[in-house]
Amino acid sequence: MTEHAVDAPCVDEPAYEPNPRRWRILGVSLVIGFMALLDVSIVNVAIPSMREGLHTSAGTIQWVVSGYALAFGLTLVAGGRLGDAYGRRRLMLVGLGCFIVSSAAVGFAPNAALVVLARLAQGASAGLLTPQNSGLIQQLFRGRERGRAFGVFGLTVSVSSAVGPVLGGLIIAVAGEDDGWRWLFLVNVPIGLVAMVAVLVMVPRRVSTGSTGGGVAADNRIDVPGALLLGATVLCLLYPVVRVEGGARLPLLLLVGVPVFGWAFVAWERRTARHGHPPLLDLGLLRSLPGYVNGLAVGALYFTGFTGVLLVTSLYLQEGLGSTPLQAGLLLMPFAVGSAVSAPLAGRVVSDLGRRLTVAALTTMIVGVVLVALLVPGHDPVWPWLAPTLLVAGLGAGAVVSPNMTLTLAEVPPRMGGAAGGALQTGQRIGASIGAAVLVTTYQLSGFRPALLTGAALVSLALLMAIRALKQAQRQAQPAQPSVRA
């Protein structure tokens, strides 16, 4: 893939004609995606309140954050595959129904165990909803317009990050510290019901790109064994990380299962493809599109550092400095504001700048996070130091997600857009859950500054992968040189 492959047509793609309702359809889906992503950030300011209200340990409450991200990530590929096979509208309605019920279950749960279980169900429901966004963008948009559509998606991610902590703090302030956190989840019920009506009215049963062409009937079976093997692999990796926070060492034995289940998953996927059945994750796609592989790595490593940085900063403001949930949310606003400014701008220029944009954005974010770690601790008041440094980090962060998705999915055929986008977001969600656990553990053991520097180091790994992708794109962009004989 060249640096400007965003404008190149996909292989085996039929003739494209723009759907006149494409922006309206995208708008409805992004509202739903906003609600699902909001529940990632809104809970950050509620952790101390939930711990007090449920009278439980920090390790249990950590599962409220990491469990949602884990279940979210585990269902993304299957959700994208189901959307490819049975239609985006149907999956949006099913996912919304499950999300509404599970949100109500979290809000009314009488104890911590049921909160965690309902939160897992809520994350799984979000995993059915979210890949429909990238699938629709792949299906409805091409060229530079696709970059702008992904830019709007990046803006949605950023705005959810901005509104989440503030809205969460405001709800807790109004409803009270003990049970106010329950309303963070109950608010999804009326919003979800309105969103279901919008889907029924505005999204057609079959979303057409305007292209024509025949083809054989698709095999719409879902690779259940592959999903179970992938789930076992991720659980063996994540569960020990989360449990180690509470001092448990026995779960570390589960790490042995990571290579075992991982090998079994790869072997099963290859066997499934050889028999002519649709695999959960098309490993042939990974082999044939090196830009896709690099993009997966960039997204996963970025979210590993990014998610933990915001979570640890929220904990530091509340537990270390005594801020209220609302104050903590407002203090985190500069990061999200910076992201909201840079995300749509990045979507407009990604076709021209390619991977250079991702490299510059990651570098900017790392600089901002390091400045927060070095300048903020020890100052009172904290906001004169926190606001500008978080703004710098946010300006970089906003220009990472949407350009990376645009470039990573550029050569993926639209018929595979849901599954490929789901795989990309799976890496992001798994990275988010692992990063949250690692940085919270570092924070509790060593403090705020080491935790943020750890997050910056993790984002630096994403930067290395982005540099690798840039060099690869530059090599492919160079014309082949004729051999010269002496």
Q: Can you tell me the mean pLDDT for 89-108?
A: 92
State both tokens at 78: 């299957």
Say yes or no to pLDDT of 244 above 90. Answer: no
Tens digits of residue pLDDT in 467-478:
988 888 777 766
- Measured CA to CA, the distance from residue 150 to residue 125 in angstroms comes to 22
Q: Regarding predicted confidence, which is higher, 368 or 243?
A: 368
Q: Cα–Cα distance between 434 and 427 in angstroms, integer?
A: 11
Q: What is the spatial distance between Cα 140 and Cα 25, in angstroms, rounded to a whole number?
A: 9
CA gap 91, 270 in Å, rounded = 27
207: left (phi over 0), alpha (psi -120 to 50) or beta: beta
Half-sphere exposure of 394 (CA within 13 A, CB side): 24
CA distance 348 to 70: 32
pLDDT tier at 220 (50, 70, 90 boundaries)?
Answer: low
Count of alpha carbons within 13 Å of 3, Cβ hemisphere only? 19
For 155, residues 6+ apart whose C-beta sits below 8 A from its C-beta are 340, 343, 344, 347, 398, 402
Q: Which H, E and C letters describe 445-473, residue by residue?
A: HHCHHHHHHHHHHHHHHHHHHHHHHHHHH
Distance, CA of 386 to CA of 407 (rounded, Å): 32
pLDDT tens digits, 265-321: 889 988 888 887 777 777 776 667 777 888 888 988 998 888 888 888 888 888 888
Q: Tokens for 382? A: 């904290």
Scan for tokens 């979507």, then name that residue. 347
CA nearest 174: which of 324, 334, 328, 331?
A: 324
Measured torsion, CA atoms of residues 444, 447, 450, 454, in degrees rounded to the nearest 10: 30
Mean pLDDT of all residues belonging to the chain: 80
* pLDDT top residue among 211 and 178: 178
**DSSP H helices in 354-482:** 355-375, 383-398, 401-408, 417-446, 448-477
Q: What is the pLDDT of residue 253?
A: 84
pLDDT at 138 over 90: no
Report residue 251: phi and psi, to 5°: -60, -15
Residue 452 pLDDT greater than 80, yes or no: yes
Position 404 scores a pLDDT of 86
pLDDT tens per residue across span 250-269: 677 888 988 999 899 889 98
pLDDT of 455 reads 92
Q: Please determine, for residue 325, whether its predicted confidence score (pLDDT) is greater than 80.
A: no
3-state helix, strand, coil in the chain (%, to 5): 80, 0, 20
* Tokens standing for residue 276: 């002519």
What single DSSP character describes residue 252? G
- Rounded Cα–Cα distance for residues 214 and 15 (Å): 12
pLDDT tens for each residue of 330-377: 888 898 888 888 888 888 888 788 889 999 999 999 999 999 999 888
pLDDT for residue 210: 43
Residue 348 identity = R
Q: What is the pLDDT of residues 16-25, one digit of tens each?
A: 677 777 888 8
The pLDDT of residue 14 is above 70 = no
pLDDT tens sequence across 110-128: 888 899 899 989 988 988 8
pLDDT for the residue numbered 15? 59
Structure tokens given for 25: 């359809």
DSSP 480: P
Return d(Cα 151, Cα 155) in angstroms, integer.
Answer: 6
Residue 272's pLDDT is 86
Domains assigned to the chain:
21-206+280-475 (1.20.1250.20), 224-279 (no CATH)
- Across the range 27-45, mean pLDDT stands at 79
pLDDT value at position 135? 77
pTM for this structure? 0.76
Q: Say how far apart CA 79 and CA 422 lie, in whole Å.
A: 7
